[in-house]
Structures are given as C-alpha cells and as structure tokens.
Amino acid sequence: MTSDGSAERLPPALRTEALEQLLTERGLVDPDAMDRLITQYETNVGPLNGAKVVARAWTDPAYRRRLLDDGTAAIAELGFGGPQGEYVVVVENTATTHNVVVCTLCSCYPWPVLGLPPSWYKDPAYRARMVREPRTVLSEMGLELPGDVEIIVRDSTSEVRWLVLPERPAGTEGLTEEQLVPLVTRDAMVGVARVEAP
C-alpha cells in the first residue's frame, strides 16, 4: 500500500507479487504449481513456438506445403499442440494478399504457437473495427499496406484458429532457420505487422 492507502499506484509487478503472497498464505495457491504454470507459458507455449514454425516454413518448401495444407499436423511435427490448438489453419501473406486475424465473438487464439493473447486482441474495439475497416486499424497499429493489396480478415472461433505465415523479408535469403526465428513476432503471425529484415 502507498501512504494514502492506495495500492493502484504500486507497479504491477509488486501488486502481482503481493497478490500471490496473499493467495499462498491463505492456501488458495500452490507456489510450485504457479511456478510450473509460468514456466510452461515462458518456455513451452508462446510466440517463440510460432516463430519456429514460420522459420521452418521459410527454409523448407516441403514443410511449408504441409503447413498450408494441414496446419495442425505440420505444427504438431515440431512438437506444438494442445488446448486452444486443436485445429489451426495457416494462411500465407504475399505481396498481393494480406491476412489478419480477429475473433469477433471473444478471443479465440492459437495458444500453443502464440502464447496468451495480448490485451488489444481481446479489446472490443479491435474485434469490431478490424472487420469493418481493417486497412484503417492496421494503419493505426503502424502497418501501412499499399492500396492494391487485398486484405482478408480471418475470424477465429472455438473450432478454427488461424495463424498467419508472414512474408519472408527481402535480404534474409542467406539466413539459417535459427537466425530467422528471432525476426518473427507474434504481431506478424496475427497479421497486424510485417517481419522486418535485420
């Protein structure tokens, strides 16, 4: 608490730590279980997994074909799957077509390859406006697309979750799969950004 009794002014990390301590003291949370859950999302689930999928598709044409034909199976080849990833469809961005993902009903999202959804993805304004005015919303998020690029909005549901295979940036032809992984961002795999060359 701050001197005026307001916890809201404390940094989020301190508030989170205080809440965890309180829940642990009351026996409502097992610290070991909490650590395992955090480790799971830090190391086994998240955008790094999706980046590995994208980098493999960029460097292995046969894998790319399998990924576009059956995203769930190709993603499972790399060991990624599970809840929220039971059926993933992968679509490819090109010089003339740009895919972007939204969930208009809630926030369905392929957790095994993208981790937890960001707050903006769950925001009602993003969910409503991306469908009506995708070019404007993308521009507001920093992605300017030429007028002749077709934008396709993909609506995730509890049955189908979408993953965007971003365009490989020019100038990365000599990079290995391992060198490409750090270039791929969560936002590029949702379709609200492009992958930039190093």
User: Looking at the annotation, which residues are catalytic?
Assistant: 103, 106-108
Identify whether residues 37 and 130 lie together within a single domain. Answer: no
Please tell me the pTM assigned to this model: 0.80
Identify whether residues 93 and 109 lie together within a single domain. Answer: yes
pLDDT number for residue 1: 43
pLDDT number for residue 3: 53
How confident is the model over 74-88, as a mean pLDDT? 92
Q: Which residue has the higher pLDDT, 14 or 81?
A: 81
**165 has pLDDT over 90:** yes
**40 has pLDDT over 70:** no
**3 among annotated binding-site residues:** no
**108 among annotated binding-site residues:** yes
- Domain region containing 25: 11-43
Domains held by the chain: number: 2
- For the stretch 111-129, pLDDT in tens is 899 988 888 999 999 999 9
What is the rounded distance in angstroms from the CA atom of residue 160 to the CA atom of residue 107? 12
CB 167 within 8 A of CB 116: no
pLDDT number for residue 48: 93
> Is the alpha carbon torsion for 62, 85, 95, 155 positive or negative?
positive
How confident is the model over 89-99, as a mean pLDDT? 98
How confident is the model over 20-29, as a mean pLDDT? 84
Identify whether residues 93 and 36 lie together within a single domain. Answer: no
116-133: b (≥16 Cβ within 10 Å) or e: bbbeebeeeebbeebeee
Identify whether residues 118 and 36 lie together within a single domain. Answer: no
Identify whether residues 39 and 50 lie together within a single domain. Answer: no
- Distances in Å between the alpha carbon of 52 and those of 57, 65, 107, 159? 9, 16, 23, 24
pLDDT number for residue 22: 85
CB 89 within 8 A of CB 164: no
Length of the chain: 198
- For the stretch 181-194, pLDDT in tens is 999 999 999 999 99
Residue 165 main-chain phi, psi, to 5 deg: -90, 100
**103 among annotated binding-site residues:** yes
Token pair of 149 as six digits:
């690029």
Identify whether residues 90 and 154 lie together within a single domain. Answer: yes
Tokens 């809840």: give the residue. Answer: 83
